[in-house]
Structure 1
Amino acid sequence: MDGLSSVLDALAGGDLAGLGDGELLDRTAALVAARNRIEAELARTVRAADVRRAAEHDGLTTMRSWLRGHVRLSAAEAGRVVRAGRALEHLPAVARAFAAGQVSAEQVAAVVPVVTPERRAAAAEQGVDLGEVDGALAEVAATRPHRALRQVVGHYLARLDPDGTEPDPTEGRSVSIARHSDGSITARVELDAVGGEKFQAALESIAAAGRCAGDLRTRAQQLGDALVQLCDNQLASGHLPVLRTVKPHVAVTIPLADLASAGTGPGAADLGFGATVSAARARWIACDATVTRIVLNPEGLPLDLGRTARVVPPHLRKAVEHRDRGCVFTGCTAPTHWCDVHHRLEWINGGQTSLENSALLCERHHTEVHHGFRVHRASDGRWRTWRPDGTEIHLAPERPATAA
């Protein structure tokens, strides 16, 4: 172990700036293989400790709890290492490829379901030669893309129990949401194959329609924007189930002074699910919203509830939709029902709720306009868009037709 630490120290002290592109790629491949070998040795060592119940030496009952407490692995990662060690006892060919650096820990995790006790018993009853399966899995894992390995494992499991009961897809579906201190969330989505297909089909349709000239978003950012747009579409449709006697909506509570201020106003507004956002973000939401005035006494208790008013009345929205036909941000093709009516001069700062002061913008480009981009309708009726640095966004010129 001391020798391994010395090698890693030497690697960490190396100068990468002097390496060529090919050398960097070769180094990357070698490091991945070395990582695989270390992961294999970790799984083998943890399995030996698991069999001997070595965790009891430190007063713990399982290696999973020891890995969480002593080397600070997450519960999921600790479980993966323990399961890998147990599975590799029954898959010697995969274990050898893992130890040689040809197979990754992620690939080992993909083949673990093959050798659960129930499936080993089913294979024995059907006369399946697990050694042949092991060899085939090792070859696929070492030579084919990761997706191919998952497909092979799926086919094997399906054939192992062809007459089994079709599982209830809803049992494996889950969405876990973690809220962070700034109000943002991290979500983990677990869906069955069909549910996942529906989810991807819905996101892909919106992501594809939302692309425009100069789009530099990553794939993950495109899908994130598509998910928010999908939620916007559903909330705006009015067809979602009623929640606590009212239609589901995004609720924002903000003092009038903060709403009217021109400053960013961090931490000025509260959202319905407990997050806190800036006054600037609240003004963006208020562009196309329903506003309710509530007067509070010094103790913060309501004294008066004013009439709820729609900032953009239905007849004006119809006029804006008729004029703009969709998102006016240069290059965007989002349809009218994806869009908010944006006040070019915010209504809280004296901007009129009028056709001249309005523009249709999809959720993503509405956000961009509130972060420095600018849209303007020229005298010829054409909308133009400028970046925060003052440069205008132009569409790529159409390629002239070539003679046949």
Structure 2
Amino acid sequence: MGELQSAVDALAAEDLTHLFGPALLERLGPLLVLQNRIAAEVARTVRQCELTGAAEHDGLKSMAAWLRGHAHLSTAEAARVVRTGRALEHLPATAAAFADGALTAAQVATIAPIAGEAERAAAEAQEVDLGAVDQALTEVAQGPAHERLGQAVHHYLEALDPDGVEPDPTEGRRLSIARHADGSVSGRFDLDAVGGEKVQAAIESIVQANRPLGDDRTRAQQNADALVQLCDNQLAAGSLPTLRTVKPHVVLGLDLDDAVDQSTGPGAARTGFGAQVSAARARWLACDGSISRIVMSPDGVPLHLGRDHRVVTPGLRKAVVRRDQSCVFAGCGAPHWWCDVHHLVHWLHGGETSLANSGLLCERHHTKVHHGFRVQRDPGGRWRTWRPDGTEILIGTPLLV
């Protein structure tokens, strides 16, 4: 172990700044193999520790607990290492390839479930040669179809119990959403194969339908925008179940002074679910929304509740859609059913709610226009777009170099 530590110290001391492409890749390849070999030794050693009860030496009940406390592994990672060590006892081909550095720890963890106690018993009862399956999966993991290793393992495990009870797909579905201090949210979901396919199909349809010129969003950003758009479409359709006697919609509370003030006004508006957003974002949402005036007393008691007033009437929206057809921001063209009706001069600042003062903008570009970009329809009926620095975005014009 001392020699291994010295070798790693020597590697860490090497200066990489003078190396470039080929030399760096030549250095990286062996390191990845060594990483796999060390992971194999870790799993083998953890298994031997488990068999000899080594964790008790440090007063702990299990090697999973020891790995969590002494190696600072997460619960899931500690369990994975323990499972891998157990599985390798029954998977000689996988163990050999892992020890040689030809398989990654993640690949071995994917194969490991075939060596579970129940799975081994089922294989024996059906006279399945586990050694042959082990060898076949090891070859898949090392071959050009390595990305399908998980599918191959899944098909094998399903074949062990072809007459098993079909699981209820809803039992394993989970969706958790956490709200952060700034009002943003993050979440995680787990879906069955069919449920996941439905979600992917819906999101992919929106991603592929909106690929504007110059789009530099990552795939993750495109997916997130598509999810918001999917919800926006459903909210706008009015077909969702009622929420506390009203159709579900985005609710914002904003003081009149903040509404008419053209400054950003951070944290000035509050949403129905408790998040705080800027006055600028509230004004953006107010471009195409319903407004309800509430007069409050100094001690916060509502004195008068005005009727909801739809800023953009259905008739005006039909006229704007007929004229513009799609998002008018240069290079976009997102379909009209994704778009808000934007006031070129905001109604809060005296702009008319009229066809001449309106234009269709998708959520992404509606946000851009409320943060420095500008769209305008010229006398000839052509929409033009300007950047915050005053330069116009021209489509099809060769770039100057």
TM-score by structure 1 length?
A: 0.90
Number of residue pairs matched?
A: 398
Work out whether residues 209 and 333 of structure 1, in 8 Å CA contact, stay in contact via their aligned partners in 2: no
Name the structure 2 match of 1:283: 283
**Partner of 2:395: helix, strand, or coil?**
coil
Structure 1 residue 53, shift from structure 2 partner: 4.0
Name the structure 1 match of 2:246: 246
Structure 1 residue 273, shift from structure 2 partner: 2.1
Deviations 1:321-340 (A, max 9, x none): 11111111122232111111
Name the structure 1 match of 2:349: 349
CA distance, structure 2, for counterparts of residue 284 and residue 223 of structure 1: 22
CA distance, structure 1, for counterparts of residue 287 and residue 368 of structure 2: 14
Residues 173/29 of structure 1: CA separation in 2 closer, same or farther (3 Å cut): farther
Work out whether residues 376 and 383 of structure 1, in 8 Å CA contact, stay in contact via their aligned partners in 2: yes
Name the structure 2 match of 1:120: 120
**Partner of 1:303: helix, strand, or coil?**
strand
Name the structure 2 match of 1:235: 235
Name the structure 1 match of 2:63: 63
Structure 1 residue 208, shift from structure 2 partner: 0.7
CA distance, structure 2, for counterparts of residue 57 and residue 117 of structure 1: 27
Deviates more, 1:10-19 or 1:152-161: 10-19
Deviations 1:205-224 (A, max 9, x none): 11011101111111111111
Structure 1 residue 12, shift from structure 2 partner: 4.0
Deviates more, 1:92-101 or 1:61-70: 61-70
Deviates more, 1:348-357 or 1:59-68: 59-68
Amino acid corresponding to residue 222 of structure 1 in structure 2: Q
Name the structure 2 match of 1:208: 208
Residues 397/33 of structure 1: CA separation in 2 closer, same or farther (3 Å cut): same
Name the structure 2 match of 1:105: 105
Name the structure 2 match of 1:164: 164
Kindly indicate whether residue 7 of structure 2 is the aligned counterpart of residue 27 of structure 1. Answer: no
CA distance, structure 1, for counterparts of residue 41 and residue 242 of structure 2: 55
Residues 278/76 of structure 1: CA separation in 2 closer, same or farther (3 Å cut): farther
What does residue range 5-404 of structure 1 map to in structure 2 within 5 Å? 5-396=5-396
CA distance, structure 1, for counterparts of residue 55 and residue 257 of structure 2: 60
Residues 347/57 of structure 1: CA separation in 2 closer, same or farther (3 Å cut): farther
CA distance, structure 2, for counterparts of residue 274 and residue 183 of structure 1: 8
Structure 1 residue 202, shift from structure 2 partner: 0.9
Deviations 1:224-252 (A, max 9, x none): 11111111111111011111111111122
**Partner of 1:288: helix, strand, or coil?**
coil
Q: Which runs of 5+ in 1 are unaligned?
A: 399-404
Residues 334/10 of structure 1: CA separation in 2 closer, same or farther (3 Å cut): same
Deviations 1:48-68 (A, max 9, x none): 333344444444433333433
CA distance, structure 2, for counterparts of residue 187 and residue 307 of structure 1: 36
**Partner of 2:18: helix, strand, or coil?**
coil
Work out whether residues 341 and 359 of structure 1, in 8 Å CA contact, stay in contact via their aligned partners in 2: yes
Work out whether residues 213 and 396 of structure 1, in 8 Å CA contact, stay in contact via their aligned partners in 2: no
Structure 1 residue 125, shift from structure 2 partner: 0.2
Residues 213/136 of structure 1: CA separation in 2 closer, same or farther (3 Å cut): same
Structure 1 residue 127, shift from structure 2 partner: 0.8
CA distance, structure 1, for counterparts of residue 350 and residue 387 of structure 2: 24
CA distance, structure 2, for counterparts of residue 272 and residue 72 of structure 1: 40
Amino acid corresponding to residue 297 of structure 2 in structure 1: N
Amino acid corresponding to residue 116 of structure 1 in structure 2: G
Residues 381/13 of structure 1: CA separation in 2 closer, same or farther (3 Å cut): farther
Deviations 1:256-289 (A, max 9, x none): 2222222222222222222222222222222211
Amino acid corresponding to residue 312 of structure 2 in structure 1: V
Deviates more, 1:51-60 or 1:219-228: 51-60
Deviates more, 1:22-31 or 1:341-350: 22-31
Residues 163/234 of structure 1: CA separation in 2 closer, same or farther (3 Å cut): same
Residues 78/357 of structure 1: CA separation in 2 closer, same or farther (3 Å cut): farther
Amino acid corresponding to residue 357 of structure 2 in structure 1: N
Residues 155/267 of structure 1: CA separation in 2 closer, same or farther (3 Å cut): same
CA distance, structure 2, for counterparts of residue 13 and residue 395 of structure 1: 52
Q: CA RMSD in A?
A: 2.3
Structure 1 residue 397, shift from structure 2 partner: 7.1
Residues 375/58 of structure 1: CA separation in 2 closer, same or farther (3 Å cut): farther
CA distance, structure 2, for counterparts of residue 388 and residue 106 of structure 1: 47
CA distance, structure 2, for counterparts of residue 295 and residue 336 of structure 1: 35
CA distance, structure 1, for counterparts of residue 242 and residue 101 of structure 2: 55
CA distance, structure 2, for counterparts of residue 298 and residue 50 of structure 1: 69
Residues 267/155 of structure 1: CA separation in 2 closer, same or farther (3 Å cut): same
Name the structure 2 match of 1:401: none
TM-score by structure 2 length?
A: 0.91
Residues 371/88 of structure 1: CA separation in 2 closer, same or farther (3 Å cut): farther
Residues 298/64 of structure 1: CA separation in 2 closer, same or farther (3 Å cut): farther
